[in-house]
Amino acid sequence: MNYIDFKSPTQLDEARTLLKELGESAMPVAGSTLHVFLRDESPKVAVDIARLGLSGIRLVDGIFHIGATTTVTALHEHDQPGWVLDRVASEFVTQPIRNMATIGGSSVRVFPWSDLPVALLALNAAMVITGDEERTLDAETFFASQPFHHFALGDLLTSVRVPALTAGQGFAYLKDRRTSTDFSRCTVAAWLSLEDGKIAGVRVAVGAAVPMPCRMPDVEQALMGARPGPKKFEEAVQAGLDTARWKGLHGISDEYARHLASILIVDVLNRAHQEAKGE
């Protein structure tokens, strides 16, 4: 990045005022792990938002409120009933990067290999943007295109809210890559809720093998109200795969990306089902 100046505000209002004043030349920086992937060489002023007190995880009425500058390491180390993002954080590149990267930065600018957006879609997260007024977007709306398009001058993502998992619910996340630190070729997440042995709610999301992380509505539709099991999961996945536009990355074909996703989705559904059954 071509930073020509930097600012280090310590209050949210101060940061927002700076972002408004600087306009398009402002670049909010928290972990700074993504700048190596950005090709923008226009002069920018870095606004360090890591000192605004926006980090931390609180459970309020069954919802985890996660501050936007909470690091991935903090997500990994958090331990509380109903918390599942540690399973995603453990898959997130390397330890030094986990120590620097934040949930906000990983959500606002999505890359094909981004882990958290896929999980946040499956978990039905809510993304809180603080502007002149605070507004909340559901994850599906937020990730429908590059999320920074939702932001007006002076807006900041300040919090991510994730419902805690409760009894009868399960969640799983899987990521395919060649080595532990490699870019993902396919990421999948599933959240599933059981009532009387039937699927009362299900969300399936994929990433990396598609242009932007997305839900799989046809797969979800095929599962609603059904009795879960490996065979049913396979049928639903085969019936619903064509909703997405598959795109192979890192040496795999589009067709193989589709195949890989089909296997991983069945796998996460099975794992989420096991957890929902209490196994």
Partner 1 sequence: MKTITFTLNGRERSFDIEPDETLIDLLRRSNLTGTKRGCDTGMCGSCAVIMDDRAVNACILFAFQADGRTIETIEGVGDFDSPHPLQTAMADTGAVQCGFCTPGIVMTANALLRQKPDAAEEDFNQHLDGNLCRCTGYVKIKEALLSCSARAADKGDA
Comparison of 48 and 218: residue with beta carbon closer to partner 1: 48
Cβ 89 to partner 1 shortest distance, Å? 11
Comparison of 47 and 222: residue with beta carbon closer to partner 1: 47
Cβ 98 to partner 1 shortest distance, Å? 9
Dihedrals φ, ψ of 176, to 5°?
-105, 125
* Contact stretch for partner 1 (CB under 8 A) within 17-25, 45-53, 79-87, 187-195: 45-53
Q: In whole angstroms, what is the distance from residue 49 CA to residue 15 CA?
A: 7
Q: Does 6 bind partner 1 (CB under 8 A)?
A: yes
Q: In whole angstroms, what is the distance from residue 169 CA to residue 83 CA?
A: 12
Cβ 5 to partner 1 shortest distance, Å? 5
Cβ 96 to partner 1 shortest distance, Å? 5
Using CB under 8 A, count the residues that bind partner 1.
Answer: 28
Cβ 179 to partner 1 shortest distance, Å? 9
Cβ 48 to partner 1 shortest distance, Å? 6
| Of the candidate residues 46, 157, 186, 266, the single one contacting partner 1 (CB under 8 A) | 46
Report whether 226 contacts 232 (CB < 8 A): yes
Report whether 118 contacts 213 (CB < 8 A): yes
Structure tokens at 19: 């972002």
Structure tokens at 207: 């990433």
Each residue 219-258 as x (binds partner 1 by CB under 8 A) or -, in order, gives: ----------------------------------------
Report whether 108 contacts 149 (CB < 8 A): no
Q: Report how far apart the first and last C-alpha atoms of the chain are (Å, whole number).
A: 48
Burial 121-160 (b: 16+ CB within 10 A, else e): bbbbbbbbbbbeeeeebebbebbeeebeebeeebbbbbbb
Cβ neighbours of 61 (radius 10 Å): 7
Q: In whole angstroms, what is the distance from residue 60 CA to residue 36 CA?
A: 36
Please report, as residue ranges, which positions from 55 to 74 form the binding site for partner 1 (by CB under 8 A).
Answer: 73
Please report, as residue ranges, which positions from 89 to 148 form the binding site for partner 1 (by CB under 8 A).
Answer: 90, 93-97, 99-100
Q: In whole angstroms, what is the distance from residue 171 CA to residue 163 CA?
A: 12
- Residues at the contact surface with partner 1, assessed by CB under 8 A: 1-6, 8, 29, 32-33, 35-36, 45-46, 48, 50-51, 73, 90, 93-97, 99-100, 180-181
